[in-house]
């Protein structure tokens, strides 16, 4: 039986079938659904860790203990987890460990488009790259076997178009192997697992030897294969790009690489000697291309295809046409010539109607403070008309950056804004630094009580685990006070007057402080109040309410209107209207 699955669902299914019993992750688009789906299988433990580094250590621990384990994250999550990844390569593991890691070419929902294939070479471990959901399932099993056979973690790399695309997956009748009946005794092996310099020096040659053996293995593994066709053109590709290239060059000979590191040199040589022209098609970095060039083989690649952005069949077709690899356009393009010129306004993502962050950003903008920001839905507060965030680099950066700005010294009053889940991810250490090294900034924890942007995942503050168990909830206020902050307030951003009063109090206090801006995400709570109404006779059409950047508010010819289907009834517009023309219905 076949079932449609996204790549992420299939990775989870593959992990389950292969006997993975421990999973850990931090949510991040496009990887989030891997662990969400894995968590639903019977007999497994799966968790949202506070961040990717913790997740990686949890996976390594489980694998040290002999269980098969999976850790998942988005591409930039591996930056956070890199320290742990590197030591795990040195120590090796007992049970198989797979890192399912999703890159985001095109930056649909990311701050950069790093190519994580480089991590395989950098950290010296094998990497596989599936090209559809069925391969996601299968490669998970191959990766776990490889992990155990070669005593190394293995990365299974996807991209957005694999993780979030659906294709049929063969459902197997057999489930996973049964778990061991008895708990094993932990195998203590300090020479291998305590990475003091003396021990680590013993391990490094082992790793170099291992990568050579893996390269030999890559020659034989079936997921690296030559797919014969017309030998005048030979295409080297992997993952989603292989599928796009198949559409564009239906007759070419292909070298399809399922294992993208280490590369099979003999197979590549055989392929190159067989075809007239070798063309490497790969998104982002010239990873294969550089390797093949170093082998002394002439290839085309980044001279034809871009290093920037996401590929598509159309883009590959266009580039190939311009380079003379093909001679006809994909389709007759006549529409473009005859299309009337209509200007289409863009539609960027915005804070939802009823979002508590809106009230907070409204006050921050009105106060004119410098806002050092962070990653989450609230990053959208940078955009006009709220325009109240001035930096955002990576998870947890806000507080440290604010501290640095304060130490350099500027005239501005300084605020760091960080979400609750992001704070648990990597905001606690910089918050300690602010107090330890004394800068008088105000940190606002924008607490919507869930990891909202990635689709409402639980976190250490919610009191619920990934597998829906009730658990201890870390109290943000108590946590912050325990560090030593004594100016801490919890305030509802729906109450603009109160919020402004508290903010002014903190900014004028001359000491480091924390405001917890608390309002649960309305998309998550599904809370909806009766929409207010605009009294058209009173409305002067001044546009003050429109500066909230709330989608139900619409400027008409003579007044502002509210679309009741979109409105959440939060009442911020009622509060900001200078002539009291927006009113909640009086019952």
Partner 1 sequence: MEKIDFLMAGVGGQGTILASNILAEVGLELGYDVKKAEVHGMAQRGGTVESHIRWGDKVYAPVAIQGDVDYLLGFEMLEAGRWPAFIKKDAVVIVNRYRIPPPSVNLGKARYPREEELDSLLKSAASRVFWINATEKAKELGNPAVIGVVMLGALSSLVGGEESAWLNVIKRMVPERFVDLNLKAFEAGRQIQLA
State the residues that interact with partner 1 by CB under 8 A.
2, 4, 29-30, 32, 108-109, 132, 160-161, 164-168, 240, 243-244, 246-247, 312-314, 317, 330-336, 338-340, 342-352, 377, 380, 383-385, 453-455, 543, 546, 549, 551, 553-555, 565-566
- In the complex, the smallest distance separating the C-beta of residue 277 from partner 1, rounded to whole angstroms, is 21
Cα–Cα distance between 240 and 126 in angstroms, integer? 19
Q: Which two tokens stand for residue 355?
A: 């979002």
Q: What is the DSSP letter of 566?
A: T
- In the complex, the smallest distance separating the C-beta of residue 430 from partner 1, rounded to whole angstroms, is 24
Element (H, E) at 207: helix 197-220
Q: What is the DSSP letter of 39?
A: T
Q: Which two tokens stand for residue 492?
A: 């509802």
Cα–Cα distance between 263 and 381 in angstroms, integer? 44
Report the DSSP pairing between strands 259-261 and 127-128: antiparallel
Q: Which is nearer to partner 1, 344 or 410 (CB)?
A: 344
Q: Which is nearer to partner 1, 96 or 356 (CB)?
A: 356
Q: Which is nearer to partner 1, 84 or 448 (CB)?
A: 448
Closest among 334, 433, 421 to 378, alpha carbons compared: 421
Q: Which residues make Cβ contacts (< 8 Å) with residue 363, sequence separation at least 6?
A: 493, 496, 499, 500, 503
- In the complex, the smallest distance separating the C-beta of residue 385 from partner 1, rounded to whole angstroms, is 6
Cα–Cα distance between 79 and 115 in angstroms, integer? 12
- In the complex, the smallest distance separating the C-beta of residue 130 from partner 1, rounded to whole angstroms, is 13
Angle (CA) 446-450-455 rounded to 5° is 115
Structural contact between residues 19 and 176, judged by C-beta atoms closer than 8 angstroms: yes
- In the complex, the smallest distance separating the C-beta of residue 126 from partner 1, rounded to whole angstroms, is 26
Structural contact between residues 25 and 48, judged by C-beta atoms closer than 8 angstroms: yes
- In the complex, the smallest distance separating the C-beta of residue 175 from partner 1, rounded to whole angstroms, is 22
Q: What is the maximum alpha-carbon separation in the chain?
A: 82
Angle (CA) 191-197-202 rounded to 5° is 50
Phi, psi of 98, rounded to the nearest 5 degrees: -115, 135
Cα–Cα distance between 359 and 351 in angstroms, integer? 11
Q: Which is nearer to partner 1, 21 or 317 (CB)?
A: 317
- In the complex, the smallest distance separating the C-beta of residue 362 from partner 1, rounded to whole angstroms, is 15
Q: Which is nearer to partner 1, 185 or 335 (CB)?
A: 335
- In the complex, the smallest distance separating the C-beta of residue 551 from partner 1, rounded to whole angstroms, is 6
- In the complex, the smallest distance separating the C-beta of residue 97 from partner 1, rounded to whole angstroms, is 26
Closest among 455, 477, 481, 502 to 360, alpha carbons compared: 502
């Amino acid at each position: 039986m076949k079932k449609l699955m996204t790549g992420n669902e299939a990775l989870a299914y593959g992990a389950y079938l292969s006997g993975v019993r421990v999973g850990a992750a931090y949510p991040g688009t496009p990887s989030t659904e891997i662990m969400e789906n894995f968590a639903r299988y019977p007999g497994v433990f799966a968790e949202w860790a506070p961040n990717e580094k913790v997740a990686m250590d949890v996976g390594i621990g489980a694998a040290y203990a002999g269980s098969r384990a999976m850790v998942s994250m988005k591409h930039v999550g591996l930056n956070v987890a890199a320290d742990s990844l590197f030591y795990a390569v040195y120590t090796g593991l007992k049970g198989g460990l797979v890192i399912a890691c999703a890159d985001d070419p095109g930056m649909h929902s990311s701050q950069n488009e790093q190519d994580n294939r480089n991590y395989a070479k950098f950290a010296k471990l094998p990497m596989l790259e599936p090209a559809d959901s069925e391969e996601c399932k299968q490669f998970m099993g191959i990766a776990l076997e490889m992990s155990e056979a070669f005593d190394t973690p293995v990365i299974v790399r996807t991209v957005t178009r694999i993780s979030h695309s659906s294709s049929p997956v063969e459902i197997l009748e057999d489930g996973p192997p049964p778990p061991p009946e008895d708990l094993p005794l932990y195998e203590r092996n300090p020479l291998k697992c305590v990475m003091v310099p003396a021990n680590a020096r013993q391990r490094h040659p082992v790793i170099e030897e291992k990568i050579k053996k893996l390269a030999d293995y890559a020659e034989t593994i079936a997921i690296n294969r030559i797919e014969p066709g017309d030998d005048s053109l030979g295409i080297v590709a992997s993952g989603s790009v292989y599928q796009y290239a198949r559409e564009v060059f239906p007759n070419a000979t292909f070298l399809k690489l399922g294992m993208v590191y280490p590369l099979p040199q003999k197979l590549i040589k055989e392929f190159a000697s067989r075809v007239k022209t070798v063309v490497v098609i790969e998104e982002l970095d010239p990873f294969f291309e550089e390797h093949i060039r170093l082998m002394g083989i002439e290839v085309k690649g980044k001279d034809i295809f871009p290093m920037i952005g996401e590929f598509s069949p159309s883009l590959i077709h266009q580039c190939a046409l311009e380079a003379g690899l093909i001679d006809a356009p994909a389709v007759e393009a006549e529409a473009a010539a005859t299309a009337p010129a209509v200007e289409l306004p863009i539609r960027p993502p915005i804070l939802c109607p009823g979002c508590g962050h809106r009230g907070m950003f409204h006050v921050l903008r009105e106060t004119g403070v410098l806002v050092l920001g962070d990653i989450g839905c609230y990053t959208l507060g940078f955009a006009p008309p709220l325009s109240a965030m001035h930096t955002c680099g990576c998870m947890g950066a806000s507080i440290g950056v604010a501290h640095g700005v304060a130490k350099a010294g500027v005239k501005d009053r300084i605020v760091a804004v960080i979400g609750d889940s992001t704070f648990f991810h990597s905001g606690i250490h910089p918050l300690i630094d602010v107090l330890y090294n004394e800068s008088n900034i105000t940190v606002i924890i924008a607490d919507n009580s869930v990891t909202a942007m990635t689709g409402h995942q639980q976190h250490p503050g919610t009191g619920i685990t990934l597998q829906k168990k009730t658990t201890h909830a870390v109290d943000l206020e108590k946590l912050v006070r325990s560090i030593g902050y004594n100016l801490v307030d919890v305030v509802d951003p729906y109450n603009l007057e109160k919020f402004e009063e508290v903010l002014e109090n903190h900014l004028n206090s001359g000491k480091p402080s924390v405001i917890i801006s608390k309002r649960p995400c309305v998309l998550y709570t599904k809370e909806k109040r009766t929409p207010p109404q605009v009294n058209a006779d009173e409305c002067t059409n001044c546009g003050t309410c429109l500066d909230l950047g709330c989608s139900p508010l619409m400027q008409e010819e003579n007044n502002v209107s509210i679309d009741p289907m979109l409105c959440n009834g939060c009442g911020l517009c009622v509060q900001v209207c200078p002539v009291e023309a927006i009113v909640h219905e009086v019952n």
